[in-house]
Each structure stands twice: as structure tokens, then as C-alpha cells.
Amino acid sequence: MTTIPICIVDAFTDKPFKGNPAAVCLLEKPMDAQWMQQVAAEMNLSETAFVEPAEEGYGLRWFTPLAEVDLCGHATLAAACTLWQTGKLSKEKEALFQTKSGLLTVRRADEQEGDWMTMDFPAEPSVAGQAPEALIQGLGLIPRYTGKNRMDYLVEVDSERTVRELQPDWTLLRTLEGRGVIVTAKADAGQSYEFVSRAFYPKLGVNEDPVTGSAHCALAPYWSKRLRKESLTGFQASARGGLVRTELKGERVLLGGQAVMVVRGQLEHAAVEGGNVNDEA
């Protein structure tokens, strides 16, 4: 009987049921995009990652319950964790992923650094601009800064408390151009992190993403410039919460995080046979 391994990994945390859960589907051959979208909808997590063998490393695609996305950090971390945990990839080897955002790599930390992993991602700095009325009304505030990159709006507000207490209007945020909205502020004094954030993607069926690696591709260059530090730690203040280490390296960002596998299972034959390998998407 044909089956496909599928796992659930909590990313950007060292504790089960914290951080951001992602499903990881380990494919032996390409499957069509419609089938992948159906699996992602069935999993109903913010992201489901599909990993398949490639000429160099692995192919990697990410789907929310509603759409495919061009870049996802936590599901990439989860994919690398799954390859190492299942023995598909030696723990001494770096994970190489061919994606819509180019080659992405993940490496395990040295033993003295603990169980952290580091991803090499493109920097996605924002360009300052005027805040659309739907953004102002959708957040219920006037931002200190509004910028936008190829994916998201980036908004700075006055305090960590404001970030934590935001109650966005999902209907209004859904009308904005692009993927979603990242809201951030400098951390309160005495915290173990330098900045705090939350990320909202109602257009993709994810009102609030628990911990968003790709958002830190915008947050890292923004706060590195503001705080004059290349290496920073951010805390994403969702209900689950999670820490992301960032290091700006020119046009790249190193994103550090931990991950915990919580589920191992398989897609059964009836679910698998719907995936046509002649993917023209």
C-alpha cells in the first residue's frame, strides 16, 4: 500500500505545543499543486511543507490552508528537523532546499550551542511609505513607521505593550495588498530579546501566525539599522510565542531557532493516489 510520511514539528521553540506548528510531508517524487493544497487544507496549520529529492539537496514548497507562499521560515526549520530526525539526512550534513526564493540552507549548531539550528535566508528589507487607511483602521492606531517589502507591510508601534494588546480587524487587513502585516516594537527594558513582533495573514487563511521566520527577514534589517547591532533576538508575542535569533549578513539573514517533533504519521493510499505527478502548476 502506498503511503507518504507526514510529521508535525513545533518550530522556534524547545517545548511541545509552543512556537509554530508545521506539517512536513516527505515525498519520493513530485506531486501536483492541487493535491498539495488539499493536504495543507486538511492539516489546517499555518504552513504545510512538501519535501522531495532534488538534483542538489531537496525541493521544498510551502502551502497555507488557502494558498502556496514564496517564503516560509518555520516550515523550513521544521523540514530540516524532520529530515534529520527521520534519518533521511545525516545530522552532520547541512540541509539544502531548492525553493521559489532560491537556495535556502539549514545547519545544526555545534554541540556547545545546544540544539539550535541556523537558516540562511534572503534579507527582505522594507521601503518606507504612507500607511493605507485600511492598515490604520485595521490595527486601530497610527504607526510610528510604515514600510513594505515584496511580501508584507512592516509597522513599528510605540511599545511592546501595544504589540501584545493589539486586536486587529481581520476583515480590513484582508483588503490590503501583499501577503500580510508585521507589527513590531522595541522590547521593554530587561527582556532577553531586543524587539517584539506579531504577524497577521488573514488573506492566506492565517489570522495570526504564531512565529514567522520570513517576517524576521524584514525585522532583522529594520532593527539592525535602528539598534546598530548585527546580531539580535526577537520574540514573537502570539499566544504560543517563540524566539528567533537573527544576524544580518549583507543581503542575507541568518535565522536561528529550535524545533520539537510532536507527531509522526502517514498519509494513506486513498489520500495519496489523488496526487498527479505531472505537476504543471
Q: Which of 144, 217, 208 has its CA nearest to residue 181?
A: 208
Catalytic residue list contains 208: no
Instruction: Tell me how far apart the alpha carbons of residues 205 and 46 are, in angstroms, rounded to a whole number.
Output: 8
Instruction: Tell me how far apart the alpha carbons of residues 143 and 157 are, in angstroms, rounded to a whole number.
Output: 5
Instruction: Tell me how far apart the alpha carbons of residues 249 and 229 are, in angstroms, rounded to a whole number.
Output: 11
Catalytic one of 47, 160, 194, 208:
47
Instruction: Tell me how far apart the alpha carbons of residues 205 and 79 are, in angstroms, rounded to a whole number.
Output: 21
C-alpha cell at 225: 539599522
Instruction: Tell me how far apart the alpha carbons of residues 155 and 234 are, in angstroms, rounded to a whole number.
Output: 15
Instruction: Tell me how far apart the alpha carbons of residues 23 and 48 are, in angstroms, rounded to a whole number.
Output: 5
Q: How distant, in Å, are the alpha carbons of 61, 160, 201, 215, 257 from that of 179?
A: 16, 23, 6, 11, 23
Catalytic site residues?
A: 47
